[in-house]
Structure 1
């Protein structure tokens, strides 16, 4: 846990132990959804059964993410303990269904237990979605640099846990996986208790700004997820022995995660998002280029390339979502659910397209080669489009020189608080409103509050809408006019501190 403690330097050693629970969740995901190790007791499932199981899991995740995204627009969300109980309860039912189906698969026709197995997959997908949103809430409490290191370190640890799980007897896989899931849920509850819950606010301008900044990386990651689901079908991954799939997945994932972690440890600043996405681009494209040549050779390395491209893109997107939720104070459930619903829908579409098209995509076929080249071209064009640095334009021009009224500090704070309360400003909006009234620039507010300038601009738009104004000068006039009246009234009544309480700066 030393590496994890280093990545979370500001955390206490006592809490760091529970932070490692995210690695347990990742190990559960590898075992259940990526390599289907959970089905080792009955041998590798047939291609059709694997596809159906994965499709049900993805559809269940998508449904939960959509529901949570809509629900979080109206409610701050349930307490952590409620989420943990729901996640564990639904997942436990899924483990029970899968375990019973696998237990009776050797005694009855498999077609009779397949519906129960698929129902168990739906429950596991729903429990997984709730669990991942709880870890998202935890990641919101970390800075961008810290969450990047944290996610990568947990990925390394999860591969170790995953490897140890592959050494267990097949009959012990299901109960061991259930234990890992429950342990992760306990850890996320304790981790959130240690870090504390970050306040959330709803603001339409802020949500629109966040969507404008995130739609490109979400679209890019969705493309990678679509290709990942497609590759799993057309490359014939299901035809490989389970041990080969496990070994290839562990080795290639460990190499890629280590390469991503190395610069984050050595460099003072993490790599830019654009550069990291450029790592995922050739990885995913290489799988399509090598597919006509290698097919299932080299231990399924072709499929691994596409899977790793999706993995890198997903890691980067996770960090961006956590940083956006922290920066804007939007609910983490809303930010992550909306993005993950898109990526899961894309992967589900890729799985279905690949499954129904696999018969026409044969090794060495012309169609397969065309798909490979066209995919590479589309990825190249996508990279040029997605990674242009764009800024959210501000509707407000640079603040012109204006007269700012400076009142006594306590009076000024009270006036700003009263105006904010009257117009129902959120806590963050009230904070920015007071700084605007002082004449601070967007850049100055950004530095003082440790948030991006785009986030400040979005809050300013919301403030202007609630106040019914359009310019900074109108905001200052609003405070000055009410302040002057209050000071005059105080002076007329002989209130203490009424004289000299206002002075005008130009």
Structure 2
């Protein structure tokens, strides 16, 4: 808990308020895209129209993410003020179109207002992608533990805000969502200005190393996003009252956030988000086993579990992407853009498949049972295989086993790293330094820039209270 107190003391109250803008964005996102709270405020627009709105938003996000990833270097040249203004402008257009549809939906046929609602979904989806990339740039300026605490705490705060939103009268929902979006974009600008500027670098070998380190978590999250989009359609969300869906989602999400928060508060060792992921995913798999049995009973518990796995996956992947961008100095827009485009493509594909086949599945149906079992299998694959890291395997200490010199050196380095609370990357570099490797060689081995290595070495020396390599070697030998 000491490091949490240290982080809190280092922050000014104004910064804490601005950083909390990410929680406001999460509330807006849940209202607009995940719970249909915004669409429900306009009355009965029809389930098909709501799905069309969601598909338009996902398609727009995919296009924006890919475009920003391709133009990552130019995107970085934009000031935070310009990024914020463009984001707010795109979002406002979407809100205006949605407001027009809500105003005239009762007076015109579905065929007339459906294209306009699709257009509103496209603009809101594009605005959602742009504001996400702004918060991604901010997250990439934080260390792994800091960004993990930041994201999980913001998710916890957003649940409290969203609980309050459930009591808001229907006519106020759309204006409230607009305010949340605009304020969050403005706070993202302020948060970026409060952090030291990051000089991003691009190198093909470094980018290749980052991709090799991230494709497993991206693939696991893609599986969960596809299953989330699929299950949300075939389990018949439209048959569940909005209030029941909101309450169940809030309850399950609160439990998940609490489970994610405890490791960061209680574990002193450097965080390993891969282990947290592998522990959380089997829990979410339990919901899919209930699909053939309870269908939409218990307030849509299956729908809630379908979203739970994707939410946990999204939080962990976000932290991994931010840590990779922070560590490699690659443009955050590049890494986040490519990864989030993949997850949105998967969710869109799952939504389309589920929507097309929703009417052919019934409670207790053999096909539905098969879908549920396959879903559980894919989730367990993601947890037990895709996120299995051989580096995480801990050797049980056995006095009868004699360690090789290399293993003994690594063991001493691990003890020193744990005692001085090194980050995972600092531990890697510390071991290579102890073995006598130079900074250029370490840069090549870890696929990071030499400036990044120098930055980590400086941090290592400060934590150890030394100034030169010789002191480091002596420290390891004495241990």
Shift of 1:249: 1.3
CA contact (8 A) 1:28 1:181 kept: yes
Q: Is it true that 1:90 corresponds to 2:90 in the alignment?
A: yes
CA contact (8 A) 1:281 1:379 kept: yes
d(CA) in 2 for partners of 1:301, 1:311:
15
Q: Which has the larger radius of gyration?
A: 1
d(CA) in 2 for partners of 1:446, 1:95:
59
Shift of 1:200: 0.2
Q: Is it true that 1:443 corresponds to 2:405 in the alignment?
A: no
d(CA) in 2 for partners of 1:289, 1:443:
49
Q: Is it true that 1:113 corresponds to 2:113 in the alignment?
A: yes
Q: Is it true that 1:196 corresponds to 2:204 in the alignment?
A: no
Match of 2:363 in 1: 363
CA contact (8 A) 1:69 1:333 kept: yes
1:66 match: secondary structure: helix
Aligned length: 414
d(CA) in 2 for partners of 1:81, 1:445:
46
What's the TM-score once normalised by structure 2's chain length?
0.81
1:363 match: secondary structure: coil
CA contact (8 A) 1:71 1:77 kept: no
Shift of 1:53: 1.0
Shift of 1:456: 5.7
Q: After superposition, what is the alpha-carbon deviation per residue over 1:149-186, rounded to whole angstroms, capped at 9, x for unaligned? A: 11111011111111222211111111111011111111
Shift of 1:455: 7.4
Shift of 1:447: 12
d(CA) in 1 for partners of 2:223, 2:446:
30
What's the TM-score once normalised by structure 1's chain length?
0.76
CA contact (8 A) 2:65 2:341 kept: yes
Shift of 1:97: 0.4
Shift of 1:321: 0.5
Alignment of 1:301-340 (within 5 A): 301-340=301-340
1:197 match: secondary structure: coil
Flag structure 2 segments of 5+ consecutive residues without an equivalent.
392-405, 407-428, 453-479
Alignment of 1:56-135 (within 5 A): 56-73=56-73, 76-135=76-135
Classify 1:334/1:294 alpha carbon distance in 2 versus 1 (closer, same or farther; 3 Å): same
CA contact (8 A) 1:222 1:346 kept: yes
Alignment of 1:130-145 (within 5 A): 130-145=130-145
Shift of 1:254: 1.2
CA contact (8 A) 2:282 2:383 kept: no
Return the match for 2:446 from 457, 463, 473.
457
Mean alpha-carbon deviation: is it higher for 140-149 or for 257-266?
257-266
2:164 match: secondary structure: helix
Match of 1:272 in 2: 272
Shift of 1:4: 9.4
Shift of 1:371: 1.4
Shift of 1:256: 1.1
Match of 2:468 in 1: none
d(CA) in 1 for partners of 2:75, 2:10:
31
Flag structure 1 segments of 5+ consecutive residues without an equivalent.
392-397, 399-435, 464-506
Shift of 1:267: 2.1
Match of 2:25 in 1: 25
d(CA) in 2 for partners of 1:186, 1:264:
28
Match of 2:342 in 1: 342
Shift of 1:237: 1.0
Shift of 1:460: 7.1
